[in-house]
Structure 1
């Protein structure tokens, strides 16, 4: 395991030149998700795009140590990538659990951000409530196997244990403590109209006068196949901050 100051180093792919844009994927995905959905290639002619495999995913290390997966530690792992590439600041696009990592950067390293695009995350409540309390990992993975088998078919028991460590940190999220809007960093929300988190996200955006990109998809299809208007809206938001 590669470790820098106690923080595992992440595997990542990069393309393009210019201001840095870091794209953070959701649970059960990897950095290649941003290549597959066309987002990386849309940005790379104008920006240096970096797509990490978050901790426990893809080609990054997959430790079974819960404390490594905290929001602050995962944010620091992104800062370490910026340091390695010699960038003082970056634009960050995070979706679902990637948005949670993006919030970690806003909370702990705001001075390293030019902007944050946060998609598919319930800033008020975090993971969904069920009749039996907050969503559990067993419920989540069972639902994923049924509704998105392409994301779970290759998982080993070792992989699942790493994902569970990540999930259990997500489960600790409470908007009262961590959704500290409005941040001074320019922030854009992004969600599909059929995403269960859409209504909550739209309410937060309205409350704090934050811009929001509204796509046509649900939670999964919005990241797997975002429509061109969504991609273009995100691009224009970031481009406008570069003057």
Structure 2
């Protein structure tokens, strides 16, 4: 865990107050981090050591609390969580910080959001890293209705659906607004087509745990893109892959290969 948690700031977009941190080396090349469903910038990027890892690599590190999550505004209407809309929150943060181009890392839902960001604003992204999401970006990641039901259940004790229990327990642990999360999960599952993937020309690294039963194959997804490669994170499931050293090393190697251009 990061010894000195970053200071969070707020900016306004689309009628919401959105939370973010801007840490690391001010003069470093910016990397923007987008967390997964039911998580937050702290839970996804600070606690597992990403901020520390990227700081040591000399990077400027920016992370947003997605709407409905962390310290950001939490609308309860499902229509507020279309990934195109959430991608515009990220674009607005880049504008707010006067950042023209950034490397972007997204985990799970964050990877989906970054895909829509890349489709709408390809000139703003130097490279993409997707964690916790493979071919499920195109084919879907299963039935998530039981997860919404689990989030709205009176208590964890009455939830029997295994994946529902996992996300309800995670939401309870992080003190999340479960109504906002249920709204988010109901409208965030927009898929990306193969034709859209073929338009994403920026270098892309896709990393998925070998025991992740949500993401789908990273290799199948990489095969659909002009400049993508896939990495397996050995023995890690959807929840544990995010902080794995194999994932971090793969990202640092990827950035070193990209160079300073």
Q: Partner residue of 1:29?
A: 39
Runs (5+) with no aligned partner, structure 2: 1-9, 152-158
Post-superposition offset of 1:183:
1.2
Contact 1:123/1:179 (<8 A) preserved: no
Contact 1:96/1:120 (<8 A) preserved: yes
Matches within 5 A, 1:1-243: 3-4=12-13, 6=14, 8-17=16-25, 18-32=28-42, 33-45=44-56, 46-121=58-133, 122-129=136-143, 135-138=145-148, 141=151, 142=159, 143=162, 146-147=165-166, 151-154=170-173, 159-171=177-189, 173-176=190-193, 180-181=197-198, 183-197=200-214, 199-208=216-225, 210-216=228-234, 217-223=236-242, 225-226=243-244, 228-243=245-260
Runs (5+) with no aligned partner, structure 1: none
Distance 1:140 1:238, change over 3 A: farther
Query: What TM-score, normalized to structure 2?
Result: 0.79
Contact 1:124/1:200 (<8 A) preserved: no
Contact 2:108/2:215 (<8 A) preserved: no
CA distance in 1, matches of 2:35, 2:53: 16
Paired residue secondary structure (1:117): strand
Contact 1:22/1:92 (<8 A) preserved: yes
Runs of 4+ that moved beyond 4 A: none
CA distance in 1, matches of 2:140, 2:202: 21
Query: What TM-score, normalized to structure 1?
Result: 0.85
CA distance in 2, matches of 1:148, 1:234: 26
Post-superposition offset of 1:229:
2.5
Paired residue secondary structure (2:237): coil
- Show CA shifts across 1:59-90 (max 9, x none): 01101133322212111111111112111011
Post-superposition offset of 1:204:
2.1
